[in-house]
Copies of this chain bind each other. A is one copy, B any other.
Amino acid sequence: MADLSGKKIGLSDFETQVVSFFCDGVRILGLPKSIGEIYGLLFVSPEPLALDDFVTKLNISKGSASQGIRLLRELGAVSEAEGKVARRSYYEPDIELKKLVGGFIKEQVRPHLASGEDKLSVLRGMVKSMEGEEELADFYRQRVERLGRWSSRARMVLPVLQKLLGK
């Protein structure tokens, strides 16, 4: 008989609640739910887990587990545990908020900010080539200036954020 209930086979109530906590958590950050499930399961597990554990305990596909672990490692949220067992790699969570925040900012936030800066410099070029003092050009210059201030605020804020959340 197939698993028709939503309940994850093999997860205790406590584990389920933790996994659900992280599911919601990663959603705020714009990451897929499976990422939250995987990290959540690692977070609540005293021992490192292998890919197959995610597949069986979370009822997700091997592909999802593989891609999920890859992203989490890129974010620095998960690392490979020492020593393979029976050909398998085992993973453990990084639970330092500092590291998690840092990785997220580096991988997910900074690239976006950078592409914003690129667009902004195109805009700067555009207003520069609007010569003269016409009302509209002036208005545009003010707006671009404002965007520039926003952008530098954002850049300044990130290190502070990291410091505040770090330790």
Contact = CB atoms under 8 A, between A and B. Distances in A.
Nearest to A137: B14
Interface stretch (A53-61, A68-76, A77-85, A143-151): A143-151
Interface in A111-136: 112, 115-116, 119-120, 122-123, 126-127, 135-136
Contact of A119 (B21, B150, B156): B21
B153 A165 contact: yes
A166 to B, nearest CB: 10
Given A24-B112, A157-B161, A160-B164, A17 B97 contact: no
A89 interface: no
**Which of A21, A30, A165 has the largest number of chain B CB atoms within 10 A?**
A21
Interface residues on A, range: 35 or more
Interface of A: 13-14, 17-18, 20-21, 24-25, 27-28, 30, 43-44, 46, 95, 97, 109, 112, 115-116, 119-120, 122-123, 126-127, 135-136, 139-140, 143, 146-147, 149-150, 153-154, 156-157, 160-161, 164-165
